Amino acid sequence: MNNFFTANISEADPIISDAIDDEVRRQTNGLELIASENFVSEAVLQAMGTVFTNKYAEGYPGKRYYGGCEFADVVEQLAIDRAKEIFGAEHANVQPHSGAQANMAVLMTALDHGDQILGMNLSHGGHLTHGHPLNFSGINYKVADYGVNKDTEQIDYDELQRLAEEHRPKLLICGASAYPRTIDFKRIGEIAQGVGAKVMADIAHIAGLVAVGLHPSPVPHCEFVTSTTHKTLRGPRGGLILCREEFAKDVDRSVFPGVQGGPLVHIIAAKAVSFGEALRDDFKAYQQQIIDNAKVLAETLSSSGLRLVSGGTDNHFLLVDVYMDGKGITGKAAEKALDDVQITVNKNTIPFDTQKPFVASGIRLGTPALTTRGMKEAEMRKIGEMIAAIIHEPESEDVKTRVRREVAEITAKFPMYSNRYKEKLNEAISAS
């Protein structure tokens, strides 16, 4: 009998099955502090694993190039409608496979090859797709960049205006992947208007905060808004474009057939589920807790002798200077030392960094994932103390042993994916 449609992954591919089980354990038994990561609901996971993965649906709801799309249309239209409702947008495209492809589609819509853009410098908190020379954005367009003030480590909007007047960009790009402060989208919109530029706001990191009004929305001030659907929005990995109605057809055309072929209908289904979750009353409380947790974590790290870039945080981000002009350790070393005790962070450059990007002077932290697990201020204080202890004594086996025990104690109180968690035989024996 053909078992193609019935065999579980453990039977069909035990190596991959074991890797999945190992990853469940890694996520469950560790503290996830990478700012761009989060944990999706079981419902979102289930949506991603549906038979919609079998379906090609090139085109858009009601206008497909394939037959058999009636249920794909239901899923995508619901995702579109929910995205528009969340953000108060006139138009939404939910097909981008990633945030980078969402940005590519917008640049394709707003620009011609070789046009001038003004984007935030990657080392000051921007993103690769905002004009980095090795990225499509830096290769295909003329780029000028802006950054943060050296003293405040925050965006200097007067300087941004000066640069906009000097370079006269066709598109001004704002938003960041490592900027812990509130972004003044209204002021940016005014600056762009003054030089005849359009604005693309990349809110990949802060989308969840924007969705519930805990960060000012760019939608009223920017022609285009892009985002990922993971991170604070807590959906599957993918992209999203919001825009004004006047650009809707051009944006849709830029996504398909411009930069993509068939949409990933199973991922769009999962996006729709997560957007539905974002429309629930409890989503705002969750986002507020993210901010509250970040502030407590920031205060704890600062009081432990670590320097926070810009002095603190307004959102879910913390950018921590662990090198401190040679008095500490590199971001690379900090990432490794913390990983050894099952605290996951990523090394990150800080503004005006003297270290190479793969070494870096800082680490980037975020609170969305731990907040999803249910952790609050008390846990953040403890976690901040553990992080500081490791950074101050990265070679101490005594400190590492103590922190590993404390990590295990905290994670045990906040279980997740209980129906997916499988203990290894040796773990079960040692625990008995």
Q: Tokens 């038994």 identify what position?
A: 29
C-alpha to C-alpha distance for 164 and 158, rounded to whole angstroms = 10
pLDDT at 426: 57
pTM, to two decimals: 0.95
Is the pLDDT assigned to residue 431 strictly greater than 70? Answer: no
| Among 1-15, 29-43, 258-272, the least confident range | 1-15
pLDDT at 208: 98
pLDDT at 2: 77
* Residues present in the chain in total: 432
Instruction: Name the residue among 127, 416, 105, 98 with its Cα closest to residue 271.
Output: 98
At a CB cut-off of 8 Å and minimum separation 6, what does 338 contact? 344, 345, 363, 387, 390, 391
Is the pLDDT assigned to residue 343 strictly greater than 50? Answer: yes
C-alpha to C-alpha distance for 67 and 84, rounded to whole angstroms = 27
Catalytic machinery residues: 56, 58, 202, 228, 231, 237
Rounded to 10 degrees, the C-alpha dihedral 22/5/46/78 comes to 150
Is the pLDDT assigned to residue 81 strictly greater than 60? Answer: yes
E strands in 179-259:
198-202, 224-228, 239-243
pLDDT at 43: 98
Bridge partner residues of 144 (DSSP): 118
Query: Is residue 330 very low, low, confident or very high in pLDDT (cuts 50, 70, 90)?
Result: very high
**Cα→Cα distances 160→106, 176, 182, 311, Å:** 21, 15, 15, 21
Query: Is residue 432 very low, low, confident or very high in pLDDT (cuts 50, 70, 90)?
Result: very low
Angle at 214 between CA 211 and CA 216, to 5 degrees: 80
Instruction: Print burial letters for 276-303: b (CB count within 10 Å at least 16), e (below 16).
Output: bbbeeeebbebbebbbebbbbbbbbbbe
- Chain CA centroid to CA 178, Å: 10
Tell me, what amino acid is at 7? A
pLDDT at 425: 57
CB 230, CB 238: distance < 8 Å = yes
Query: Is residue 430 very low, low, confident or very high in pLDDT (cuts 50, 70, 90)?
Result: low
Bridge partner residues of 364 (DSSP): 319, 346
CB 94, CB 83: distance < 8 Å = yes
C-alpha to C-alpha distance for 208 and 315, rounded to whole angstroms = 10
Q: Indicate the SS3 state at residue 142.
A: strand
CB 409, CB 386: distance < 8 Å = no
At a CB cut-off of 8 Å and minimum separation 6, what does 87 contact? 210, 211, 217, 219, 225, 242
Q: Which domains does the chain have, with CATH numbers?
A: 47-278 (3.40.640.10), 283-413 (3.90.1150.10)
CB atoms near residue 106 (< 10 Å): 30
Instruction: Name the residue among 87, 130, 99, 101 with its Cα closest to residue 228.
Output: 99
pLDDT at 423: 84
CB atoms near residue 32 (< 10 Å): 22
**Cα→Cα distances 24→30, 76, 128, 263, 420, Å:** 10, 29, 30, 27, 7
At a CB cut-off of 8 Å and minimum separation 6, what does 157 contact? 184, 187, 188, 191
Is the pLDDT assigned to residue 280 strictly greater than 70? Answer: yes
Q: H or E stretch including 371?
A: helix 368-372
